[in-house]
Chain A
């Protein structure tokens, strides 16, 4: 895997690399090189399976992190390509021409995070939230608890215990 990263480094500007497990590696590239890198990995390095495409909200840094997780069946390894994009103008180049399944992931990201993928098929249609009119729910500035309490008529009388304290009291009541 390290040889592969070294090879990639000659062509692409890889800013960070994480060797998570023997078969799982993450590399970070700038936004403008991401699609080129993914295409290169698919066409020349045998990473021809898109495992998933997901996002992380780094609200403190004002960034979204997109993760393209690719799998190479020949040496049974995953390679995650991380891309940091701006949180306010969350737009990314679509990769639906590489994998058709990517269009569904992009539709979901558009709905849950508000990341736009111009040109992706049906990206503007609602995916699972029908008629959602709030900010996208997976963004971290969306308060699900507050929203739930305002919308779904919470039943009063719900109490919360700290699991550690509660079990201690339950198992060793003398102490």
Chain B
């Protein structure tokens, strides 16, 4: 499989009064046209990993890597101007909360069109058609009406679908979804992930799904990286999650209550073993 993304020794650090704090400590991984899940708790560095691929970490944060290539392009040497051609067009990112990530003073249709217009020159009529088609693809009923609504007029699940539409309309090669469903209801979560899943499969894109929910990731990904305190502690195929060996992964799995819970007490992670989280 052709490598879409190749990352070696990625480090992200931020300055603190006591020297620089490394939030991602030299991780390496590769990605083909597959679905990769990155799992970890708050502060494990999973979102920072996603953001550093798009070079979205601003000073004083600092990103270093021995190698960071995307489809043959060396991301570490790209200028801001070059990155603008990559962001959205080649790699795009779905954020956690539609409430804060959509522009409140633009209609849904305008925002989706903007993603397209920025990267391609197309006649107005075709843009409108593609916006409507994209809204249909994310399973929004009556797309013509929804395109004219403002973000506050749509529900959370719909807002997240609008964001997915916006991110997929330039047909990127890689989609980074950073906790795309944690602001949504359980029943809507499955719908949104199914949509992402279908679109990613149809278009043969690469997907990085960042989440704190082990089970969710194991359902929607081929491969899983488990992160803790800035390092990758375990890498496994999604189906092999129960056979995970690292104590942190096992601890996370055990700490989750199940629907037929019979345990009197849930096992708790001993945090002293992994100082820093």
Chain A partners chain B? no
Give residues in B with beta carbon < 8 Å to A: none
Give residues in A with beta carbon < 8 Å to B: none
